[in-house]
Each structure stands twice: as C-alpha cells, then as structure tokens.
Structure 1
C-alpha cells in the first residue's frame, strides 16, 4: 500500500494550520497573563443564560465573518468566491501558498472561525461581563431576526407556492 501522507491529494497546508494553532495558543496565553497580572478574576460560574447568549452571538459573528457578502473584503486576500449562497451568503475557496491557504480555510469555515470568536467573546465576558452580555444580546437578537426572516420567507413561499 502506498503512503500518501495526511490527505489523498497531499495539499493540506499542515504547516499553515500549525502556525494558526500556535498563534491562537499564544494569544490565549498572552490574554491569560495580562488578565492575571492586572488582578482580574475569572467568574466563579457562568449562568446557562450567559452560555446561550455567548453561543448565539458566536454563531452570528462566525457566519458574518465566514459567509457574509459584506465581509468578503476580509476574506478576499486569502480566498476567492466560488458560489452564491442563500440569504446573502457566499461560498469561498482558499487560495495561495500554505500559510495563505490555511488562513483562507479558517476564514471560510464558520465552524473553524467560531472557535476564535468564542475565545474572544469569552475573554470579553471574563474581563467585563455586563458589557459583554449586552453585545452578545445584540448579536443574539440579530440571530433571532435572521431565523424569523427565514420563517417569514418560508411561510410566504408555502402560501404562494
């Protein structure tokens, strides 16, 4: 049996992924160091309601960053648009060398970028819970509004169709 490496095509930018993962770990470590040195304390508990707010806000920001037409300018240096999706969403494909492709893979994947968004929002919540709740509530409201738009459109199509 032939050894093909990590993936069948041999094109996974593993070094780029490792760099991104290392950058993420360094960012978390730097945040934690500053957090501790300034005498901040991690909340003793995170109520389920706050987890729900953080989760829906993470979902919305991840979709905005990875799929929205308007944020295409952020992805453009690392991706190219390959298809139009529903509701102003787009499908992008990463491009370029290993590092550029790795960033493109991250930015075009809502699941991938969601981990970064969750880390940022969780760090914000740990630093300053009240304003973080407000920001997450606003983003969660947009998520709910999106679902209502889908429900409205679906109902309208069912009635007309």
Structure 2
C-alpha cells in the first residue's frame, strides 16, 4: 500500500476536521484497560461466569443504559464533561444538551464526543459491569439492580408526565 496515513486521513475527513489519531488513542486506552482487567483476573484466579442468566443480561442492560445517560446527560455530572464541552441548553427532562468545545482538538475533542454520547459510553460502562461480575458479582448485581430501578423510575416519571399532560388537554 503506497497511501500514507496522512493521505488516508485527508481522504476520510473530506471537508471536516476529525481527530482520527485521538480516536485511536481513546481506543488504545480502552484496549489497554481491557487487557489490564484480563491480566488482573488471571493473576487473582478469577474467571468469567460459566453462564450469564437472562436476569444478569437484563440488569447489565438497564445498568448500562442508565449510567451511560447519567454520565452523558445529567446536570450533576456536567463537571465531568465541562472541560470537553459547552452547555447548549436542556434536551429533555433532567437532561442537558452540550456541544463539544470548538476550541478542543485532538484528545480533548474525542473525549468530548465520547462523554456526550450515551451510545458511545455504553461499551465502556458495559465493560466495567462485566469486570465487576468477574471481581465482585454480588456488589455488581446490587449496582445493576439499583440502576435498573432508577431506569424504571425514569420511564414511569415520563409516562406519568404524559398522562397528566393528556388529562389536562
């Protein structure tokens, strides 16, 4: 292949400025974290569960959904995102809309995109939950049940608000 990485980057980006090298750094951190977790599990003699029950999958899914949205959208977690984003308004009940800082480039920009995207964060959160199931399954299931309860409560709050709005119309 005679195409240089710089040429590939230019071809990929077109008119946009995309921090491909920084995305690669973020992916490297993720891969490194997974490698460290696997090595730690091996050294500690811990193994992944032989079977994962439907209830564990449900808890993991609800936990991942709720924590990803909390990190990416919750007003209380905005200090985590503030170095990488700018406030841009409210996007829904108890959720903020933020833009990645325009003065941010490189890793700062990549982290801003990651921290404002619940879909992007889900992989990281689910990986943490999976590690918890290896190292401390009881505590992890309790955290899963807690965040599942919060997710169900959120949905009930939204349903209640819609019902009350419909009743007043």
Does residue 24 of the first structure (1) align with residue 30 of the second (2)?
Answer: yes
> Could you say what secondary structure the match of 1:60 adopts?
helix
Q: Aligned partners of 2:142 and 2:70: how far apart in 1?
A: 18
Q: Aligned partners of 2:105 and 2:18: how far apart in 1?
A: 11
Q: What is the TM-score of this pair, normalised by structure 2? A: 0.90
> Could you say what secondary structure the match of 1:41 adopts?
coil
Q: What is the TM-score of this pair, normalised by structure 1? A: 0.95
Q: Aligned partners of 1:24 and 1:156: how far apart in 2?
A: 44
Greater than 4 Å deviation, 4+ residue runs: none
Deviations 1:12-37 (A, max 9, x none): 11111100000000000001001101
RMSD across aligned positions (CA): 1.2
Q: Give the gaps of 5 or more residues in structure 2.
A: 1-7
Instruction: Give the CA deviation at 1:149.
Output: 0.2
Which of 49, 71, 96 is 1:65 aligned to? Answer: 71
Which of 122, 142, 147 is 1:139 aligned to? Answer: 147
Instruction: Identify the residue that residue 13 of structure 1 maps to in structure 2.
Output: 19
Does residue 49 of the first structure (1) align with residue 71 of the second (2)?
Answer: no
Deviations 1:7-66 (A, max 9, x none): 343311111110000000000000100110111121101001100000000000000000
